[in-house]
Amino acid sequence: MSTQPVGNGRHRVVVIGSGFGGLFGTKHLKRADVDVTLISKTTTHLFQPLLYQVATGILSVGEIAPATRLVLRKQKNARVLLGEVTEIDLAQRTVASVLLGEKTVTPYDSLILATGAQQSYFGNDHFATFAPGMKTIDDALELRGRILGSFEQAEVTQTQEERDRLLSFVVVGAGPTGVELAGQIAELADRTLEGTFHNIDPRDARVILVEGAGAVLGPMGPKLGGKAQRRLESMGVEIQLNALVTDVDAHGVTVKDADGTSRRIESACKVWSAGVQASPLGKMVADQSDGTEVDRAGRVVVEPDLTVKGHPNVFVVGDLMSVPGVPGQAQGAIQGATYAAKQIRAELAGKQTAQERRPFSYFNKGSMATISRFSAVCQVGKLEFGGFIAWLAWLGLHLYYLVGYRSRITTIIQWFVTFLGRTRGQMAATEQWIFARLALEAVYGDSEEGEEFVRGAAGRRPPAPSPGTPAVTAEAGLPGKPGGDRKVG
């Protein structure tokens, strides 16, 4: 175990997470007389809103996920520490993080916790084996492999029944992510892949968007939800509303309709975009506070100044905070983190005390979702509009918030190629992207060998799986044929 140096007597701020909250919180402390340590379990700042474009071959990982270390290289008062935070001790004011078995303890005077949320399967975590979510770079690359792999398998399969299964794509959840993914899979099949296979016509692919509630893009209201639904349907996407997914397996999904009947959709490639669960670190700090609670999704019900009770130096921001009227969107994270940084700066400069803080107030800049090339829906205050103008607004806004000039320029080029032409620049996919997650889970599992592998990963070979370690077969995920014999791990 190592302990980070206590420093030069300056105020120490620890920021946990390198998403929108973590990065903007750190950047807004640039001119403050503090030492900032940003700890994150990922090496990059991930622009999650464009993950679906990585999954569907439009953008590369580098364009939406610059290395945090490089982004912050000119900020002299900030250092970046890679590691998964496993303990936060509010009494001792320390944060413990682990990187491949190496534990580091970092002391703080102020803490900004911005560890966001993960995919939620509403208690059915085993669904994840067959229907990955869309939260990380790994998710997006795995999904790209699964989507393209399904077309490849459909090309060589012998039976029509199996071909139909392989060409059926189920997206669970009709929020912005589900809508964007469904639209892009449909465009991929109809425009990009059209004419590139011999035995199949990719345009025969079915894209099915399954939603438990009664509307597409429910929170955006009936006008924009209706627009999005009509546009998707005109592209051939099948929309099934009031349809609850009750089971997911290798071969498809089981759906329960509003009238209580259950039915099957046979599908090789399934994607889950139906719910989120906050990072467990939220509950960890809430439990140590003087009575702060977490809501059903695990988000911290923070005080008006985004802190936890009894600890005015501990801010919780972004998707991890629960503040009435603040959506789990990038703007909520950016504004919350900026607010926290401003309080720290003002108090160090002697301009206010913690007791004098004005409550956090959220400025709603609106929300938008893109459906296909040249088509999006947009809501700004009472103004609701869709179509090409909304798509241009979406384009401009996403470019503005992408980090780094290089990313912006290459993204414009990729969009130009994709939206005006028929090709896509990032159509690579490998077997490892598809199977590595399951193989790693099998190796790490609960087994002692898994633990040993993690401890020794820096220099030793992974252990051979023991007889008790579950083998990952294609049947466990996709693109595997029923009874397939591929073994990984």
Rank residues 105 and 471 by Cβ distance to ligand FAD and give the closer one: 105
Rank residues 207 and 281 by Cβ distance to ligand FAD and give the closer one: 281
Angstrom distance (rounded) from CA 45 to CA 22: 9
Angstrom distance (rounded) from CA 420 to CA 374: 10
Angstrom distance (rounded) from CA 442 to CA 42: 22
Return the residues of window 329-348 that contact ligand FAD according to CB under 6 A: 329-331, 333
Closest CA to 270 of 297, 247, 287: 247
Contacting residue, 13, 14, 15, 16, with ligand FAD by CB under 6 A: 16
Contacting residue, 35, 142, 319, 347, with ligand FAD by CB under 6 A: 319
Q: Is 143 in the site for ligand FAD (CB under 6 A)?
A: no
Q: Is 40 in the site for ligand FAD (CB under 6 A)?
A: yes
Closest CA to 422 of 194, 93, 81, 153: 194
Rank residues 49 and 386 by Cβ distance to ligand FAD and give the closer one: 49
Q: Is 418 in the site for ligand FAD (CB under 6 A)?
A: no
Q: Is 414 in the site for ligand FAD (CB under 6 A)?
A: no
Q: Is 175 in the site for ligand FAD (CB under 6 A)?
A: no
Q: Is 371 in the site for ligand FAD (CB under 6 A)?
A: no
Number of residues written out for the chain: 489
Q: Is 42 in the site for ligand FAD (CB under 6 A)?
A: yes
- C-alpha dist (Å) from residue 475 to 344, 472, 481, 484: 52, 8, 6, 6
Query: What 8-state DSSP symbol labels residue 76?
Result: T
Angstrom distance (rounded) from CA 84 to CA 104: 10
Strand 375-380 with 383-387, pairing:
antiparallel
Structural contact between residues 55 and 185, judged by C-beta atoms closer than 8 angstroms = no
Contacting residue, 28, 32, 36, 49, with ligand FAD by CB under 6 A: 49
Q: Is the dihedral of CA 448, 249, 210, 203 positive or negative?
A: positive
Write the binding mask 259 to 298 for ligand FAD: x where contact by CB under 6 A, - elsewhere.
Answer: --------------------x-x-----------------
Buried b (16+ CB within 10 A) or exposed e, 197-211: eeebebeebbbbbbb
Rank residues 115 and 292 by Cβ distance to ligand FAD and give the closer one: 115
Beta carbon of residue 347, minimum distance to ligand FAD (angstroms, whole number) = 23
Angstrom distance (rounded) from CA 64 to CA 20: 12
- Active-site residue (options: 63, 84, 161, 180): 180
Q: Is 134 in the site for ligand FAD (CB under 6 A)?
A: yes
Q: Is 69 in the site for ligand FAD (CB under 6 A)?
A: no
Q: Is 63 a catalytic residue?
A: no
Strand 276-278 with 117-119, pairing:
antiparallel
Which residues are catalytic, by number?
Answer: 180
What does the binding site for ligand FAD look like in residue numbers (CB under 6 A)?
A: 16-22, 39-42, 48-49, 51-52, 84-85, 114-116, 134-135, 176-177, 279, 281, 318-320, 328-331, 333
